[in-house]
């Protein structure tokens, strides 16, 4: 099981790493203000996905991995959810441009942005739904290979643009096209490998189970997102899109620390759902190994960020380096929360994730409104670090209490840990 998880993780890790370098080139090409617009596009579309998706993607993975539904039924549920989200977005986009003369996601008064937002959001829907289907079928590696291939092509394209072989006129168009092509590619591969798939009616009992699971995940994810990305909106209100662009790039550096833990946590759920006996020792071992690995990642992030800020980005981006250093301790401690959330999901104790996320929202929103108006992105970074640290400690206590183990057992390193590392 571990080899299957790690093999799938490698491709996901490489995909996210290539995406990170693509975002660096896009930021360099765009400048702080335009990159701020792109960052708001990402944040606002993510909020809309969470609200309109109602937690269906988690339900797709969970029920598909447990074989409670057939492949046709899982596909049918994912398809109807995706179509609903797309139609709702098109309706609200039309409403926004008709009555407020601005687009829904970027608040820009231009018909070209309207078209690009539709392209971008369609790509997001395709990626989200088809990746969930691959995960539900325990074929995550295939989806991540496809996404890695497409992102690598765009990365090469951007590099050629920087060498002067051709001129990249519109970085916003390029970014939206990347997401759309990712969605088209992963959907094509899915149907190529599952060419006999068809729509199938889902029994009312199964639908009830799907929506019950989705509802809990939906509220947890929605609160979590507002807790972790409300700082973008508050920064934009007080300081404008340039400040958002600089801060968003600093956050992207910090979020590299979460890449491996999030990948492993996402793959743990479907993997453990197929295991008749849950092995606590294996779970703890994996967490300890990722924590050790993350210490080296922190060092690499700081060195890489210092180099890129100094020699690659425009001078205006360098203001993000100190906020990055402030964020890293909280981001490191929060790694444990990622694993514990996966654990409680496996145990179907989603209410613990919900309560912890709600508490984190209260802390971080309070600190954001207190610190950002006076200190800008430094205040946002400090709020993140403090809130993430508190959330990690609370979640860790819940895990120890649930498993009835001591902190000593939790951090008891073994020879096998270092071999696995």
- The answer to whether position 404 is within a domain reads yes
Tell me: do 63 and 176 sit in the same domain. yes
Q: What confidence tier does 273 reach under pLDDT thresholds 50, 70, 90?
A: low
- The answer to whether position 83 is within a domain reads yes
Tell me: do 242 and 189 sit in the same domain. no
Instruction: Provide mean pLDDT across the span 111-134.
Output: 89
**How far does CA 151 lie from the centroid of its chain?**
16
Cα–Cα distances (Å) from 231 to 62, 338, 372, 385, in that order, read 31, 20, 8, 12
pLDDT value of residue 186: 94
- The answer to whether position 61 is within a domain reads yes
Closest CA to 60 of 42, 83, 76: 76
Crossing angle of the two packed helices 71-99 and 56-65, in degrees rounded to 10: 170
Tell me: do 253 and 167 sit in the same domain. no
How many structural domains is the chain composed of?
2
Q: Which residue has the higher pLDDT, 180 or 138?
A: 180
- The answer to whether position 11 is within a domain reads yes
Q: Which residue has the higher pLDDT, 62 or 93?
A: 93
Tell me: do 79 and 197 sit in the same domain. yes
pLDDT tens per residue, range 149-189? 999 998 988 888 777 666 666 778 888 999 999 999 999 99
pLDDT tens per residue, range 355-405? 777 788 888 889 999 999 999 999 999 998 998 898 888 888 888 787 777
Q: Which residue has the higher pLDDT, 12 or 411?
A: 12
Paired tokens of 17:
């790493």
Q: Has residue 266 got a pLDDT over 70?
A: no
Share of the chain above pLDDT 90, in %: 23
Tell me: do 151 and 290 sit in the same domain. no
Instruction: Provide mean pLDDT across the span 127-137.
Output: 86
For residue 30, give every residue at least 6 positions away whose Cβ sits within 8 Å of its Cβ, in sequence order, or none. Answer: 38, 171, 172, 245
pLDDT tens per residue, range 300-340? 999 999 999 998 888 889 999 999 999 999 999 888 887 78
Tell me: do 259 and 352 sit in the same domain. yes
pLDDT value of residue 260: 74
Say which DSSP state 277 is in: S
Cα–Cα distances (Å) from 379 to 36, 267, 283, in that order, read 18, 34, 35
Residue with tokens 């926004």: 96
- The answer to whether position 210 is within a domain reads no
Q: Which residue has the higher pLDDT, 409 or 177?
A: 177
Q: What confidence tier does 8 reach under pLDDT thresholds 50, 70, 90?
A: low
Instruction: Provide mean pLDDT across the span 290-294.
Output: 84
Give me the half-sphere count of Cα atoms (radius 13 Å) on the Cβ side of residue 24: 19
Tell me: do 16 and 112 sit in the same domain. yes
Q: What confidence tier does 352 reach under pLDDT thresholds 50, 70, 90?
A: confident
pLDDT value of residue 303: 95
Q: What confidence tier does 214 reach under pLDDT thresholds 50, 70, 90?
A: low
Expressed as residue numbers, the domain containing 69 is: 1-202
Are the C-beta atoms of residues 35 and 46 closer than 8 Å to each other? no
For residue 299, give every residue at least 6 positions away whose Cβ sits within 8 Å of its Cβ, in sequence order, or none. Answer: none
Tell me: do 98 and 159 sit in the same domain. yes
Q: What confidence tier does 276 reach under pLDDT thresholds 50, 70, 90?
A: very low
- The answer to whether position 220 is within a domain reads no
Paired tokens of 318:
């360098």
- The answer to whether position 224 is within a domain reads no
Q: Is 17 exposed, middle or buried (0-12, 13-18, 19+ CB in 10 A)?
A: middle
pLDDT tens per residue, range 37-50? 888 888 888 877 77
Tell me: do 27 and 173 sit in the same domain. yes
Looking at 202, 217, 238, the residue that finishes a domain is: 202
Tell me: do 56 and 184 sit in the same domain. yes
Looking at 145, 167, 202, the residue that finishes a domain is: 202
Tell me: do 50 and 161 sit in the same domain. yes
Q: 128-167 burial, b if ≥16 CB within 10 A, otherwise e?
A: bbbbbbbbbbbebbbbbbbbbebbbebbebbeebeeeeee
pLDDT tens per residue, range 73-97? 778 878 888 898 899 889 888 888 8
Q: What confidence tier does 191 reach under pLDDT thresholds 50, 70, 90?
A: very high
Tell me: do 374 and 290 sit in the same domain. yes
- The answer to whether position 221 is within a domain reads no
pLDDT value of residue 299: 94
Phi, psi for residue 200 in degrees, rounded to 5? -140, 140
């Amino acid at each position: 099981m571990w080899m299957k998880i790690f093999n799938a993780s490698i491709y996901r890790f490489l995909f996210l790493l290539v995406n990170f370098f693509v975002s660096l080139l896009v930021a360099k090409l765009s400048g702080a203000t335009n990159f701020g617009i792109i960052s708001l596009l990402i944040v606002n579309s993510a909020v809309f996905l969470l609200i309109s998706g109602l937690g269906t993607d988690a339900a797709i993975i969970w029920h598909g991995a447990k074989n409670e539904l057939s492949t046709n039924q899982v596909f049918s549920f994912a398809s109807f959810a995706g179509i609903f989200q797309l139609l709702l977005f098109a309706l609200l986009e039309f409403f926004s441009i008709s009555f407020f003369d601005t687009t829904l996601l970027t608040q820009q008064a231009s018909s070209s942005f309207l078209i690009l937002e539709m392209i971008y959001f369609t790509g997001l829907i395709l990626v989200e739904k088809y990746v969930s289907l691959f995960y539900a079928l325990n074929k995550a590696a295939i989806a991540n290979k496809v996404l890695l291939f497409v992102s690598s092509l765009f990365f090469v394209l951007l590099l050629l643009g920087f060498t002067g072989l051709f001129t990249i006129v519109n970085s916003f168009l390029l970014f939206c096209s990347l997401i759309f092509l990712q969605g088209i590619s992963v959907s094509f591969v899915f149907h190529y490998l599952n060419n006999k798939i068809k729509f199938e009616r889902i029994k009312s009992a199964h639908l009830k189970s799907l929506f019950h699971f989705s509802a809990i995940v939906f509220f947890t994810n929605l609160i979590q997102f507002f807790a972790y990305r409300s700082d973008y909106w508050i920064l934009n209100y007080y300081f404008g899109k340039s400040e958002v662009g600089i801060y968003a790039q600093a956050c992207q550096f910090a979020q590299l620390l979460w890449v491996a833990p999030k990948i492993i946590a996402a793959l743990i759920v479907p993997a453990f759902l197929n295991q008749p006996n849950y092995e606590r020792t294996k779970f703890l071992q994996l967490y300890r190994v990722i924590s050790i690995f993350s210490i080296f990642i922190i060092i690499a992030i700081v060195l890489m960020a210092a180099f890129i800020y100094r020699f690659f980005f425009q001078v205006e981006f360098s203001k993000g380096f100190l906020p990055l250093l402030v964020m890293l301790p909280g981001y490191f401690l929060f790694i444990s929360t990622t694993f514990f959330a996966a654990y409680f999901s496996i145990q179907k104790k989603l209410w613990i994730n919900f309560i912890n996320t709600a508490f984190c929202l209260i802390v971080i929103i309070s600190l954001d409104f207190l610190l950002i108006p006076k200190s800008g992105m430094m205040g946002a970074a400090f709020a993140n670090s403090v809130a993430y640290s508190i959330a990690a400690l609370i979640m860790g206590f819940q895990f120890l209490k649930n498993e009835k183990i001591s902190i000593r057992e939790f951090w008891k390193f073994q020879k096998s840990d270092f071999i696995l590392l």
